[in-house]
Amino acid sequence: MAKAQVEQRGLSAAEQIYQQRSQRARQLRDEGKKIIGYFCAYPPVEMLTAANLVPYRIMGNPRQAVARADEYLESIVCSFVRSCFDVALLGGYDFLDGFVASHACDNIGKIYTIWRYNFKPQFSYFVNVPNTTSTASLKFFRAELGTFQRHLEKFTGGQITEQRLFEAIKLHNENRALMREIYALRKPDPPLLSAVEMNKILVASQSIPVEESNQLLRDVIQDLKKRHDGPARKPARLMVVGSEIDDSPLFQIIEDSEANVVIDDACIGTRVYWHDVETEGNPLDNLATRYLDRVMCPRTARERTGSREEDLDIRFGHILGLAREFGVNGVILYILRYCDNFGFDVPDLRDYLEKAGLPVLFVEDEYLISSARLKTRIEAFIEMIS
Amino acid sequence: MAEAPREKTTAVKATETVKRVPRLIKAMLMEAHEGKAQGKPVVYCFLGNNCDEIVRAMGMAPVWPENWAGFCAAVHLAEGFLKKANAEGFSDKLCTYATCGLGFDIMRQELGEAPPDAPFGGLPKPDAMLGIGLSMCDPRHKWFQAVQRYTDVPLHTMGLLVPPYDIDLKEVEGYYIDYMVEELKGLVEFLERIAGRKMDWDELSHLIDISDETNDIWYEAYQLRKAVPAPMPTQDAMSAFVPGWCLLGTQQALDFCRDLYDEVKYRVENKIGVIPDEKYRLVWGMGIPPWFFLQLFNFFESLGAVFTIEAIYRPFEPVEIPAGVSHPLERLAWRLYKRGTYRHEKARKRTGDADIEYLIELIDEYKIDAVVMHRAFSCRTVHTGQLHQLAVLKKYRNLPSLVLESDMVDVSSFSEEDVKSRIETFIEIVDAHKRGKSTHPSAS
C-alpha cells in the first residue's frame, strides 16, 4: 500500500479500505489510471490488469434499501443487481471508466444493456460465457476472450502481449494463494479471524489494484499470525453457501450468536480464490480453462457421467470438501430470492449435504438483510446443531 | 390437485383456424403417449431451442413441459403442481413453468404414473431430456437438472449463444457459428446413443425445409395483420404459436399455418375485423400472458381496443442462409444466429436494444395507438427490462403504455377486479392521447 492514502497496515488497513472502498480507485483515477467495474466471478480480471487497467468489483449495499433503482428495474429482478444499480444511480460508481459483465445469469445479462444505456461508460464489454464445459464451449470461450482482448487493446491503445498476460496471471495467482492462506487461518478452533473480518478483507482486496492487494494480504497474514484477540471458540462452526453474499451483515448476525463462520462457497469468496490459472502454455487458453471449467457456479452445466451419485459429486463435491477441510458442523444455504441458478439446486444440495451428515439451514431472502427474523432462525439452527 | 376447473378460462377467438389448436395439442400428447407405449423415445425439450427437427429426424417424440405448464394454467390445474414443488424446496419465486412441471414430475414419481386429473393424461415419462444454455433463460439449463431428482434419465445440455447487442457481428460471427455447429453435432451424437441408431441426414434436411416453409408462411400471415380493421388478435396468436413452435417440422404445422394464412387473407380482403368498431389498436409488448386469464384480451375488446400484434410467441423473420451452406446442422446454426441477431445492427446504431427496435417497427407498421405489457413475477428472462424498454421507447414513439402484473402460471397474485380497473383507466388515457389531449401517456 505504498502509494495509497492508507496509513495503517494489515488488518487495520483492510478495515480502512473496506470503510472507504472507492477511495483508492478514485485516487488512482485522479492520477490517470483507468478503472473498470466488473460484475461477478466470471470476467477474467487478469486481462484488465494486463491492459494496465484497474479491476474494481461491483457490489451493492446490503444495508440500504433501494432508493432510485425502482424507476429502472422491475421488483422481480435479483435484489443484488438492483442494489448495485441503485448504488450506481446514487453516484457510487461515478469514477468508473468502463464496465464489464458476463453471461453469469439472466439478471446480469439483462443489466448489461440497461447499465450501458444509462451510464454510458467509455468502455464496456459483455463476456459471453457458455453454460457448458464441452470442448466446443471451451474453444468458443477462448475465441471470446480473444475478442475481449482486442476490445481492451482498442480502448487502451496498447498491446496486451503474452508476457504481460503471464505477469498479470502470476500476480493474480499470488493474490489467490495469499487469500487461501488467510482462509487456512480459519481452520483452527477457534479460527484466527472472524467471518466479519474475512468479509472486509475480501471486499477490500477486490477494490484495489492486485499488486496493492498482494501487499495488503501479506501484511494481514502477519497480523493474524501474531494476534491474541481473535474470535472465541463457539459451539458451532458454520459454512455459508450462496451467491452474491458480499458486504453482508449476515456474517455479523451469525457471529453475534454462538457460531463462527469458517468457510464459504460464495461469489466474492472461495469461488474467486480457489483455483489458479496455469502458467505454462498459451495464456488465453489457460484463462479460458480456469474461468469456464474451474469456477464452480451452478450456472454452468457439467458433463454428465451417467451416474447420479457421481453427477452430484461433480456439482457439489467441492462444497462438501470445503466443509470437511474446515471442520464445519452446519451449513447455511443463503439464496437470494429470484435466483434461478441457485434456487433450482436447493433440494439436491440440501439432501447431498444432509446425507453427508451436515445439517442445513435454507434461507431464501433479499440482498438487503432483514435481521430480526433471520437472527431468530439462525439462533434456532445453531441451538439445534450445537 | 383438489382445485376445480373454472367454467371458462380461454379468450374468445376471432379466427376459425386457431380453434383447432387444443385438438392439435391433445393429438400431439396422445401421439407421444402411444409412441412411448410402442417404444418410441420421448424427449423433454424447450420451445425454440433449435432441436425440434433433430429430435423428430431421430424418430423421437419431443414434448414440451413449458407449454404443458401453460396449458395447466389455462385450465386452472396448475396450483397443485406448484404447491407440490414448493413443498419439496423449490422456491415459489422460481420460474413457475418449471415448478409446475416439477410438481407433476414429483407426483408421477410418487404415484408411479401420471396423476389422474393431469390435463391430457399428463406428460409421458421422458427417455432423455435436452437442456440448453442460451443467453435467454437460466431455467433452461437448471430445470431439467432438477427433474433428474425424480426422473433420472440422460440429460444433455447444449450451449447455444447469441452475441450481445453492442458487438460488431462481423467480428464474432465465425466462432459463434462454429460453436453452434459443434454443439448441434454433440446433440446428434447424444440422441444417436439414446436411440441406438444413426441420424438420417436427408430426413433432417427435409424436416428443416418443412419447418422453414412453416415459419415463413406463418410470418406472411402476420404481415397481413397490418390491415385495418385488425383481422386477427393477439389472443389468437397465443394459440397459433403452438403448432409453429411445438410441431415444427411436421406437416400438421405447415397445414395449420397455410390455413391460418388463407383465413387471415380472406378476412383482410373482406374487411372482417376482430370487433365491429375498432377504436384503438394495441401491441402486446414483451411479456408472457397470464395463461389463466386470457379473457383479458376480450375485456380490452369490450372497450373498443384490439391487440393487433404482439412481440412474443411469434414467427421469426425469414433469414438468408449464406450460399454454399447445405449441411443441415450448419443450416440450423446459421438460422439460429441470423434470427437471434436480426436487429442487432439496428440496435447498435440507435436504441442499444433489439427488443425496443422491434417495438418501434410494430408500432409504425401496425399503426399502434398504445403499448401493453404483462410482467410475470416468476420470469426474469422475458420481463427484466420492460421498464427500460418503455423508457427508451418514449423517446422515439410517445405512446401510452400499461404494465399489468401477475404471473404466467401462478394465479395467486392476480386480481381480476384490479386488472379490469387498471385497463378501464388505461383506455381512457389512450382515448385522450389519441384525441391529442393527454400529456402524460403512461399508466404503468
Cα-based distances in Å from A58 to A262, A268, A270, B161, B380: 24, 10, 17, 25, 21
- Distance between CA B325 and CA B329 in Å, rounded? 9
Q: How many angstroms separate the CA of residue A370 from the nearest CA in chain B? A: 18
pLDDT band at B160 (very low <50, low <70, confident <90, very high): confident
Which among B139, B156, B171 has the least Cβ separation from residue A340?
B139
Are A130 and A201 part of one and the same domain? no
Rounded to a whole number, what is the distance in Å from the CA of A124 to chain B's nearest CA?
A: 9
Query: Residue B30: helix, strand or coil by DSSP?
Result: helix
Dist. CA A43–CA A274, nearest whole Å:
16
pLDDT band at B12 (very low <50, low <70, confident <90, very high): confident
Q: Which three cell numbers stand for residue A51?
A: 491492459
Nearest CB to A347: which of B88, B134, B176? B88
Calculate ∠ Cα B202-B203-B207, nearest 5°. Answer: 120
HSE of B282, CA atoms in CB hemisphere, 13 A: 30
Q: Sorting pLDDT into bands at 50, 70 and 90, what band is B3?
A: very low
A25-37 exposure pattern, b = at least 16 Cβ within 10 A, e = fewer: beebbeeeebbbb
Residues A214 and A285 both lie in one domain: yes
Q: Residue B48: which pLDDT band, with cuts at 50, 70 and 90? A: confident
Last residue of a domain, one of A151, A184, A219: A151
Domain boundary among A90, A121, A151: A151
Handedness of CA A313, A317, A319, A324 (dihedral sign): positive
For residues A29 and A95, state if they share a domain.
yes
Q: Is residue A268 part of a domain?
A: yes
Considering CB atoms only, which of A78, A110, A301 is closest to B133?
Answer: A301
Alpha carbon of A68: minimum distance to chain B alpha carbons (Å): 13
A78/A283 Cα distance (integer angstroms): 34
Residue B176 near residue B162, CB atoms below 8 Å = yes
> What is the length of chain A?
386
What residue type is B116 in one-letter code? P
**Is the domain of A352 the same as that of A376?**
yes
If we measure between CA atoms, which residue out of A15, A7, A4, A6 comes closest to residue A201?
Answer: A15
Query: Residue A81: inside a domain, yes or no?
Result: yes
pLDDT in tens, B217-244: 999 999 999 999 999 999 999 999 999 9
Query: Do B95 and B81 touch, CB atoms closer than 8 A?
Result: no
What are A166-190's pLDDT values in tens digits? 999 999 999 999 999 999 999 999 9
What 3-state class would DSSP assign to A238? strand
Residue A162 is assigned to a structural domain of this protein: no
What pLDDT, on the 0 to 100 scale, is given for residue A374? Answer: 87
Q: Is the distance from CB of B389 to CB of B360 less than 8 angstroms?
A: no
Amino acid A7: pLDDT: 65
User: B39: which 3 cell numbers?
Assistant: 417404444
Interface mutation target, options A106, A138, A355, chain B, most CBs of B under 10 Å: A106
CB contact under 8 A, B91 and A131: no
State the amino acid at position B67 in one-letter form.
N
A134 and A176 belong to one structural domain: no
Which residue has 444440495 as its cell numbers? A349
pTM to 2 decimal places: 0.95
Q: Which residue of B has its CA nearest to A109?
A: B135
Task: Return the H-helix or E-strand segment holding B63.
Answer: strand B61-63
Structural element, H or E, at residue B301? helix B296-302
Read off the pLDDT of each residue in B74-92 and give the average, rounded to a whole number. Answer: 96
Domain boundary among A94, A127, A151: A151
* Residue A197 shares a structural domain with residue A126: no
Q: Pull the grid cell for residue A36.
A: 473498470
Same domain, A254 and A314: yes
* Cβ-contact A360, A350 below 8 angstroms: yes
CA A201, CA A206: separation in Å to the nearest integer?
9
Q: In this structure, are A113 and A173 located in the same domain?
A: no
User: Residue A49 falls within a domain, yes or no?
Assistant: yes
Query: How do residues B92-111 score in pLDDT, each as one tens digit?
Result: 999 999 999 999 999 999 99
Portion of chain B with pLDDT greater than 70, in percent: 95
- The C-alpha angle with vertex A76 and arms to A74 and A77, in degrees rounded to 5, equals 75
A116 touches chain B (CB under 8 A): yes
For B378, residues 6+ apart whose C-beta sits below 8 A from its C-beta are A76, B92, B93, B94, B95, B96, B99, B407, B408, B409, B410
Whether residues A112 and A195 fall in one domain: no
A77 and A197 within one domain: no
Q: Contact, B48 vs B245, CB < 8 A?
A: yes
The burial class, CB within 10 Å (0-12 / 13-18 / 19+), for B250 is buried
Residue A70 lies in a domain: yes
**Would you call A335 an interface residue with chain B, using a CB distance cutoff of 8 Å?**
yes
**Cα–Cα distance for residue pair A329/A238, rounded to 1 Å:** 6
pLDDT confidence of residue A2: 44
What CATH number is attached to the domain comprising A126?
3.40.50.11890
At residue A5, the pLDDT reads 52
Residue B4's pLDDT is what? 45
Whether the Cβ atoms of residue B92 and residue B86 lie closer than 8 Å to each other: yes
Q: Are residues A225 and A124 in the same domain?
A: no
A132 lies in which domain range?
A: 3-151
Same domain, A143 and A234: no
Show the low-confidence residues of chain A (pLDDT under 70): 1-7
- Structurally, chain A folds into a number of domains equal to 2
Q: In this structure, what CATH number is given to the domain that contains residue A297? A: 3.40.50.11900
Q: How confident is the model at residue B439 (pLDDT cuts 50, 70, 90)?
A: low
Output the 3-class SS for B181-246. Answer: HHHHHHHHHHHHHHHCCCCCHHHHHHHHHHHHHHHHHHHHHHHHHHCCCCCCCHHHHHHHHHHHHH
Euclidean distance between CA atoms B49 and B58, whole angstroms? 16
Asked whether residue A161 is assigned to any structural domain, the reply reads no
Q: Characterize the bridge pairing of strands A236-242 and B61-63.
A: unpaired
| Whole-complex ipTM | 0.94
A159 domain-assigned? no
Residue at A123 is within a domain: yes
